[in-house]
């Protein structure tokens, strides 16, 4: 019984170990300076890099954060600090359901919403789709960390005659800041690896994007396109891209663990 469940735990861990091993073997060896500084080469030419996709991913994430963080954090404040139980129950419920909506669905929704009216895929549409996906994630984690702030902090502020909104902004938010930042970073790490919603919105780009209304490259899109191509050199690029992307995602995930060793700053990982 004990050994059987132990074997199951090993089976769970095994894939991650295997993915790590192969990413290190295939991905790390394909990494070089050019990968970070050069544009993709044309079919058949060896070498080149993913500079545009790396920059593209960061541009998409900045846009996503601009949409997802204010809406998510302010909405989370409402859920934690205001509101009747009934309305809040429905908002929470809807947010949890939204977290389960398949990412490809978000992609075609934003396609209908932005790409068709704007007559083409754009970096903007890619940023919006990732931002939309961040909203329920950030809202739920923000609410959870705000609830960990002891009620006494709020009461002390009220006793001093401080207005409720000032109490929230200056005391509650400040106390929970680490946890909110953690939630935002985890949400960003999560959408950074999203590919499906970008397929029709950001579309991908083999060159630089000079304007947000143009299609833009992103690391996960590039990995996908290279992985399903028939060229060995592109496969190597895909492994290198995957290595960089995974390091990025894991760095955030491991990093926040060190940031948040105290209880006050730890949002629920389940909602992510």
- Decide if residue 66 touches other proteins (CB under 8 A): no
- Decide if residue 171 touches other proteins (CB under 8 A): yes
Question: To the nearest whole angstrom, how small is the minimum distance from the Cβ of residue 5 to other proteins?
Answer: 4
Site string for other proteins, 123-152 (x = CB under 8 A): ---------x--xx--x----x--------
Residues between 173 and 232 with contacts to other proteins, criterion CB under 8 A:
189-190, 192-196, 199-200, 203, 220, 223-224, 227-228
Dihedral sign, Cα of residue 229, residue 235, residue 238, residue 239:
positive
Phi, psi dihedrals of residue 48, rounded to the nearest 5°: 85, 180
Contacts of 190 (CB under 8 A, 6+ apart): 137, 272
Residue among 83 and 207 whose Cβ is closer to other proteins = 83
Which secondary structure element, helix H or strand E, spans residue 216, and what is its range? none
Residue 43, SS3 per DSSP:
coil
- Decide if residue 251 touches other proteins (CB under 8 A): no
Name the nearest CA neighbour of 115 among 228, 30, 200, 225.
200
Residue among 24 and 62 whose Cβ is closer to other proteins = 24
| Binding segment (CB under 8 A) for other proteins, from list 40-48, 49-57, 107-115, 175-183 | 107-115
Question: To the nearest whole angstrom, how small is the minimum distance from the Cβ of residue 42 to other proteins?
Answer: 21
194: burial class by Cβ within 10 Å (0-12, 13-18, 19+)?
buried
Say which residue the tokens 């992103």 belong to.
218
Residue among 36 and 89 whose Cβ is closer to other proteins = 89
Q: Round to whole Å and give the CA distance between 141 and 187.
A: 9
Question: To the nearest whole angstrom, how small is the minimum distance from the Cβ of residue 234 to other proteins?
Answer: 12
Residue among 196 and 259 whose Cβ is closer to other proteins = 196
């Amino acid at each position: 019984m004990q050994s059987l469940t132990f074997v199951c735990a090993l089976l769970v861990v095994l894939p991650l170990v295997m993915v790590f091993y192969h990413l290190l073997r295939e991905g790390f060896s394909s990494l070089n300076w050019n990968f970070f500084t050069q544009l993709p080469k044309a079919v058949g030419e060896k070498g080149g890099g993913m500079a545009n996709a790396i920059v593209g991913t960061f541009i998409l994430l900045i846009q996503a954060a601009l949409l997802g963080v204010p809406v998510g954090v302010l909405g989370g404040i409402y859920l934690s600090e205001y509101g009747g139980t009934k309305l809040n129950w429905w908002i929470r419920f809807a947010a949890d359901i939204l977290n389960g909506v398949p990412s490809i669905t978000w992609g075609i929704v934003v396609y209908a919403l932005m790409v068709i009216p704007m007559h083409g895929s754009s970096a903007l549409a890619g940023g919006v789709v990732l931002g939309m996906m961040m909203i329920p994630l950030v809202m739920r984690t923000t609410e959870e960390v705000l609830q960990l702030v002891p009620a006494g902090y709020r009461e002390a502020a009220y006793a001093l005659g401080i207005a409720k909104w000032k109490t929230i902004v200056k005391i509650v938010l400040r106390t929970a800041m680490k946890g909110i930042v953690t939630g935002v970073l985890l949400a960003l790490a999560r959408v950074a690896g999203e590919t499906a919603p970008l397929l029709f919105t950001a579309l991908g780009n083999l060159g630089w994007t000079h304007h947000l209304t143009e299609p833009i490259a992103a690391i996960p899109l590039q990995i996908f396109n290279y992985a399903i191509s028939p060229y060995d050199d592109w496969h190597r690029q895909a492994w290198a891209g995957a290595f960089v992307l995974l390091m990025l995602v894991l760095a955030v995930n491991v990093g926040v663990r060190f940031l948040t060793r105290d209880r006050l700053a730890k949002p629920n990982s389940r909602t992510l």
